[in-house]
Amino acid sequence: MRHWKPLCALACTALLTTLFAATGCGSSPSGDTPGPSPATTSPEDLCTALITKWGRQIYDSGKETYGDYQSMGLSNGQYMILRDTLDLARAERERHGADAGRKLLTREARERCEKRYRHGQPSGGPWV
């Protein structure tokens, strides 16, 4: 009786392997070419998303403090972009209102991140 359990486990494994192979699990519909690669986010798009997210949160809270850049998942360079962009957005808010400041924040984040990553990773590594 005790030989039945390993034998059943072996039979189940063989059956599942056959079923996966027969259904084409893991292969493309045509069977000869791999499926598409997962999408990746460019460094400038990721930078822009991070700066915009944290910038809006800080801007809309009305706080003057910036917080800890490491807990935000930012590099030192990205943190400097965040601080400079927030300073500009706050000045714009004083002159032209809150919406104008938000638009400037988004625009500046995009421009500065594109400049930072125009050659791929910034010199000195990704955390600089």
pLDDT score, position 109: 97
| Reported confidence tier of residue 32, pLDDT bands at 50, 70, 90 | low
Distance CA 8, CA 10 (A): 5
Q: What is the mean pLDDT of residues 65-83?
A: 89
What is the C-alpha separation between 96 and 73, in angstroms, rounded? Answer: 31
User: How do the domains of the chain map onto residue ranges?
Assistant: 43-116
How do residues 80-108 score in pLDDT, each as one tens digit?
Answer: 999 999 999 999 999 999 999 999 999 99
Alpha-carbon distance 128 to 98, whole Å? 31
| Residue bearing tokens 């590594």 | 125
**Is the model's pLDDT at 61 over the cut of 80?**
yes
